[in-house]
Structure 1
């Protein structure tokens, strides 16, 4: 026969005698004519439910029955995860729903949790409430979207300031600045300022298909122009334009442009600006209020999520900012120089006839052969001028550079004073000293054949004869005239003659 169940009145008497009368299990069992095991059972249930006599003495029998029922795991409430945190954690590199589910279960070992399938279904339902479109997972520090806002700011002179906007993919942290136009210089300046605003470079920059940035707007194989690629190489990133006429590819940029328009440009509509710099300063003051504004459905703000997700994942920036560079194809002339804006720059003489790529910045000219730098110069705006590095010249040309009037005279003076004097007079006979370089070198070379002493003597005789020509000195040495002692001319005396009055006549 099944055991007879105690009435609720009897159960309440068990609790009263045990807790209020302070009787032992055996005394309670003897008083109520029940076994000690039954007493232990109901005392145990009441203790597990956290009850005491002060609590239950005024309860109804139904309340006591409900409290004493053993609670199964199925009756426990489900521990609901923080879906906003789950949504943000998925933006981290390598984080998956499986990993987040395992952490969720481990964090609540005594609670009732969802299995993995239910966990995923509830997350998808939460994500669908954020935006009814395809969910694009943005990895932290992976992408930066850039674009120009359609709205502009009027200036007092009738011109309009353009507004450059960028946004990080994972955090949607916004940067904006004003530029005079939307030319290539302004695109590059905007992207450089954006990277330094964020304090790092993402792995990928996604611009619009602007013709100033993209040289080939192919749907499947787009290509940025040389300047943009040079900018990307400098910062260790890459540029991949969005597909033509596909705004969903850069939805973050589109929404950020809308945010800047509503929360920045709309607030400036009553302001009057004279210059682009004033517009830029006004935008900079309003940016913190945009990035620090709390999200509506997710925890945190753009600034806090950027600091948590994007900032640690960004690539470090170079010590100096990028300087805008343009590229030009040039050919090396026969004089081992190339021409840029009317000025000529030297390259190694072995590259004569080669086609090079010139990388032109505001202050420098860099010459590249198959991507390798072969020469670099400080840029000059002097048209018709030359910038030449001696190391680029052939050996014979470098030697020619050493032929200066002063150096030739010093070489002659090392042989003797007469030789130095003859070279000085020889150079003075020409309108341009360089015309006499070869004659001087020929003269100096005679010392190797005839010796220094004979050359010095020949120069003395040439000066006495009133000539400074190289061939005259050469002939003197060839005919050994330098070996003949020079005769000192006798002092001249006036001859006796009737027409010569003499000094006594004037006294």
Structure 2
């Protein structure tokens, strides 16, 4: 049963049924058909669990062969020490440790693909913050998104300056022909060197 984001337990035989709730001071009383079935101290920590171990079915408490603290810590070691510490905090915060198993599974799922290093960094930064909220799947996921955004915004290449052309001086003693162009065929007639107009025929005297 959930009140103001806090989940309070009831005996498992009443799961799915409608109940009445009364809060007197710091005491939360849960009733079914006028009969008190559970009583808890009001919790002021948002998104937390308040559980009476007597309300948990026996088969749920005997889940060591499925998920366990050792299993999640072992999986966290594959990511890094910060992730191990984050998983440990999630489990330590639960009155019944099994209630943190789903959060641990979701946190470790964030390391899939190439995200192991990002998850390790996210957990490390969350743990090192002096004033922070409790570590949870939501907190880790949000911090991971921030790291991804920062990585995407980081420039990966530099813009090269435009190339400039520096004119080269001709070697000593050589004529500079960089601005020269080829003339037309009329510049190569026999008359060009002498300055006389070309007639297209040569006299006998010129050929001798």
TM-score normalised by the chain length of structure 1:
0.16
Q: Of the two, which has the highest radius of gyration?
A: 1
Q: TM-score, normalised by structure 2?
A: 0.38
